[in-house]
Homo-oligomer: A and B are copies of this chain.
Amino acid sequence: MKSICAIEGVEAAGIKEGKYGLALIRAEGTAAGVFTSNLVRAAPVELMMERIRRGRLGGVIANSGCANAHTGRRGLDDAAAMAALGAGALGVDEREVGVASTGVIGRYLDLPRIERQAGAISGSLARTDAAETAAARAIMTTDLVEKHALVVGEGFSVGGICKGSGMIAPNMGTMLAFLYTDAAIEQPILSAALRLAADRTFNRVVVDGDTSTNDVAFLTATGAAGRVDANEFEKALEACCRSLAVQIAADGEGATRLIEVVVTGAPEEEDAAAVARTIVGSPLVKTAVYGEDPNWGRVIAAAGRAGVEFDPYGASLSIGEGEGAVPLVTKGEIVVDLARAKAQMSGKRVVFTLDLGAGEGEATAWGCDLTERYVEINGKYTT
């Protein structure tokens, strides 16, 4: 198993019929969640922001194809009904069922379909490779590949699946993530660890700068492995989330390349993150990476509009990693060798490192190039 089914006590199932998918995951334990920062929140988000306060989940039911967003009172009732369907299929208390949706905004949920799909797969809940893959596939929309991650710590593991491809921006982009650990972790620590990990990973992925109405990440700790060092757990959780975040960026709608931007020397970590996110979200940087055009001025220009104070002539920028890194600007001096810089752009992953020379804050953000295919995918989505 390569993700959630590697965690003791976690069973999964999934079905995908055209664009309509349903995933069921059963795992009882202490739980925490993080949600979209968009003012316009989908019905399942509204429901779960309330229900997650119990600090426990018994399982999750998640559908793709319809976001159940901007659907008013009826949407909230539908989300609650979906939780009840999940409770029946999973055999757990409906107040402890996590509900999540992704898909078109402004449409009502097809509850009969969800009931039928849940009935069809509840008997196949299992701890197998096939089961976790079916669940990961069920929640995909424009994603091209399923996303799994598993981090094995000292005596415990953290695993997760997620989906996410478009409408991806800081503060949870249309992204559903279901994370599990067998570590026994107290709820307040679990909640804080999830928030920090999400902030450093999922919230540093930018595909198109649009923030979804439906984002959610749930983390459930089954406790099967007993108590573990909180610090070790936080590291493993962050590593698991980082793996998923990078998979989302690499599978961004229409993407051909992953862009990784490392910002160092910022006043604070949050400043570094703001600059890194702005660069990775810049359409001009994204198109330059697509065209293998070493137009580094766009990177500097994007940094300049991130709202962080630094001296442009104290900043250094390079492309590539480690020994192979090619300097572009060194403390404001233009030192670029365009041919060598261009050579760093031919792979599946392009890394920019920007040292602002203004402090100790560091952060990394991930994104992808902007291609004609993104336009095609999003030009005809509803119909």
Contact = CB atoms under 8 A, between A and B. Distances in A.
B39 A305 contact: yes
A303 interface: yes
B379 A209 contact: no
Interface in A256-293: 281-284, 287-288, 290-291, 293
Interface stretch (A10-18, A148-156, A370-378): A370-378
Nearest to A296: B106
A210 B283 contact: yes
A379 B293 contact: yes
A291 B379 contact: yes
Interface in A287-317: 287-288, 290-291, 293-298, 300-305, 308-310, 312-313
Nearest to A297: B105
Contact of A301 (B40, B281, B297, B333): B40
A310 B374 CA distance: 31
A224 interface: no
A297 B70 contact: yes
A167 interface: yes
A304 B40 contact: yes
Contacts of A287: 374-375, 377-379
A106 B301 CA distance: 10
A288 B379 contact: yes
A37 B305 contact: yes
Contacts of A226: none
A39 B309 contact: yes
B379 A304 contact: no
A297 B67 contact: yes
Which among A67, A212, A308, A380 has the highest number of chain B CB atoms within 10 Å?
Answer: A380
A334 interface: yes
Nearest to A283: B208
A181 interface: no
A313 B72 contact: yes
Given A39-B309, A293-B381, A381-B293, A302 B372 contact: no
B69 A297 contact: yes
A301 B378 contact: no
Contacts of A187: none
A112 to B, nearest CB: 20
Contacts of A380: 291, 293
Interface string A339-383: 000000000000000000000000000000011101111111111
B382 A284 contact: no
A336 interface: yes
A209 B283 contact: yes
12 contacts: A106-B300, A106-B336, A209-B281, A210-B305, A213-B301, A287-B378, A288-B379, A290-B375, A293-B379, A295-B381, A370-B375, A372-B376
Interface of A: 37-41, 67, 69-72, 104-106, 166-167, 169, 208-213, 281-284, 287-288, 290-291, 293-298, 300-305, 308-310, 312-313, 329, 332-334, 336, 338, 370-372, 374-383
Given A39-B304, A70-B329, A293-B383, 11 more contacts: A40-B300, A69-B297, A70-B334, A104-B295, A169-B305, A210-B282, A211-B305, A283-B378, A287-B378, A288-B378, A291-B379
Q: Which 10 residue pairs spanning A and B have beta carbons closest together?
A: A105-B297, A291-B379, A40-B304, A287-B378, A372-B372, A106-B297, A39-B304, A211-B305, A208-B283, A38-B304
